[in-house]
Amino acid sequence: MKYRTAMISDLPEVAKLYVDGFKHQLHTIFGRHIPEKIFIDFLYRVRKLEKNGFIVACENGKIIGFTIMSVNPFKLYAKIFLLSFFPSVYSLISGRYSGICFHKALKSFLDFVKFSQKSSFADKKYKNAGQVITMVVCESMRGRGIGGNLLHRGLDYLKKSKNTVKLEVRQDNFPAVHLYKKNGFVEIGIVHSKVGCSLIMVKHL
């Protein structure tokens, strides 16, 4: 098993993992057709802005898990929005994101903004904390400690400049909640969205 920072060539595999890992939530947002190219473009910008916080797990040359950590999540999202807005509009118009209408894409973005605002309000005491943006492990490879290893490597990256880290995790994602609690995260709040309830958890590094 090898752990390293993500390369551009990894992004299609990582995007597929992300879609597979969050399929239920993404179906709620996008409907039956989930355009992986949107996530490839998003991940490309994440890697550009926070390369060392974008960590993948590989086995036999295949990406089987990844995590994204951010030292400053607000700044990260703001930069992604600025970098993505006009290219995303062009991609929608040109058909790169076929199957997604502009209205639906805009609504999904506004829903995300509302969720972020709720989350920020619920945990404003930790507004300067680093954040576990996301973590996914291939379903067939779960239970082998890969998630824990990715988490430890991501936290090692954050602790160089942060003393607190936060995350949001679906309340009904019991394996993930168990993993985070096992590694010292504690629940401080809950936030509701159209795809369900998420726990807000923090850990002091």
Give the CATH number of the domain where residue 37 resides: 3.40.630.30
Q: Classify burial at 121, counting beta carbons within 10 Å of its beta carbon; exposed 0-12, middle 13-18, buried 19 or more.
A: exposed
What's the whole-model pTM score?
0.84
pLDDT value for 164: 94
Lowest mean pLDDT among 8-12, 159-163, 171-175, 187-191: 187-191
102 three-class SS: helix
Query: Does residue 21 register a pLDDT over 90?
Result: no
Adjacent-strand bridge partners of 130: 165
Integer Cα distance of 174 and 111 in angstroms? 24
Partners of 16 in the beta sheet?
none
**Total domains present in the chain:** 1
DSSP output for 148-195: HHHHHHHHHHHTTT-SEEEEEEETT-HHHHHHHHHTT-EEEEEEEETT
Distance CA 112, CA 118 (A): 10
Give the residue with greater pLDDT, 6 vs 105: 6
What is the residue range of 183's domain? 2-204
For 98-147, write each residue's pLDDT tens digit: 666 555 555 655 555 555 555 555 556 777 899 999 999 999 999 999 99
